[in-house]
Structure 1
Amino acid sequence: MNSRRVIGLIVHALACVLYIVLNNFAVPIYKQLVGGLTSRGVAIGMGMYLVFYFFVFLNVALVLINRLAIKFGVTVFMMLAILFYLLPQYPVRAMAYCALAGGLTLLAIVLSHVMNAAFVRLRGKQGAAQS
């Protein structure tokens, strides 16, 4: 496994963990602002798991994609899919989860790209110094 994939896997895995942490932090705020989670129906509970699993699946898939433009395209697709799924009945959740999932994914893409470039540059300098 090359360094780009290892770095990408670590960064995207951390984004998935951060999703859980931020979600658990934001749910009490949501309850306070909008009302209880079941105030608009209980069917959305499984839907939130679907959104999370979709987020995790696409973050793992992004590690395998090489081109940066395609990564951004997949991220935009994910954000639009979350909006399409939640927006008709849950507009506040749609915006929040779109921002959460999209923001963390974009951050992971940029961070893994920067970290990989720095690693390659550092490895190149070490190789030149050993010669």
Structure 2
Amino acid sequence: MAGIKALVGLSFSGAIGLTFLLLGCALEQYGVYWPLFVLIFYVLSPIPTFISRRLSDDTESSSNACRELAYFLTTGIVVSAFGLPIVLARVNTIQWGACGLVMTGNAVIFLTILGFFVVFGGGDDFSWEQW
């Protein structure tokens, strides 16, 4: 039952994050859809972690080169997702208010992705493989 509650909570927070992103694009005073390119980063961010969990052994050693590389690549993807709206606002492609809404959406979505890995990443009673 705890897995279902966690899944519903993560779905709700993901919907809130996407709402902020769409508000940054679709409000009448902003009206530019360039910030939707951060959706690519949302899709790319969990991929290195999924690959490293498949390739690395299950020992909980203090250092694992495959996981460290995955964390590095994921960090680069997340920083790029936060940097894109700033660059778009800096060159006056989008307004700064839209940039703020997109950054808020980024924070909520990436915390949702992190929550997914925290809740379903451990090998306890349930894991993400069952979904």
The TM-score with structure 1 as length reference comes to 0.53
Normalized per residue, which structure has more helix?
1
1:83: which partner in 2? 86
Question: Structure 2 vs 1, CA of residues 88 and 50 (structure 1 numbering), >3 Å: closer, same or farther?
Answer: closer
Ranges in structure 2 where 5+ consecutive residues have no aligned partner: 1-9, 50-69
Stretches (4+) displaced over 4 A: 23-27
1:4: which partner in 2? none
Distance in 2 separating the partners of 1:121 and 1:19? 28
1:41: which partner in 2? none
The answer to whether structure 1 residue 116 and structure 2 residue 120 are counterparts is yes
After superposition, the CA RMSD in angstroms is: 3.4
On the 8 A contact 2:120/2:126 being kept in 1, the answer is no
Aligned length: 95
**Offset at 1:75?**
1.0
- After superposition, what is the alpha-carbon deviation per residue over 1:56-78, rounded to whole angstroms, capped at 9, x for unaligned? 22211223221234223211111
Identity of aligned residues (%): 10
2:16: which partner in 1? 18
**Offset at 1:106?**
2.3
Question: Structure 2 vs 1, CA of residues 92 and 25 (structure 1 numbering), >3 Å: closer, same or farther?
Answer: closer
Ranges in structure 1 where 5+ consecutive residues have no aligned partner: 1-10, 38-43, 125-131
Distance in 2 separating the partners of 1:84 and 1:26? 15
- After superposition, what is the alpha-carbon deviation per residue over 1:81-123, rounded to whole angstroms, capped at 9, x for unaligned? 110012343223223322322x0232123202101234x1225
Q: Which has the larger radius of gyration?
A: 1
Partner residue of 1:95 out of 95, 100, 110: 100
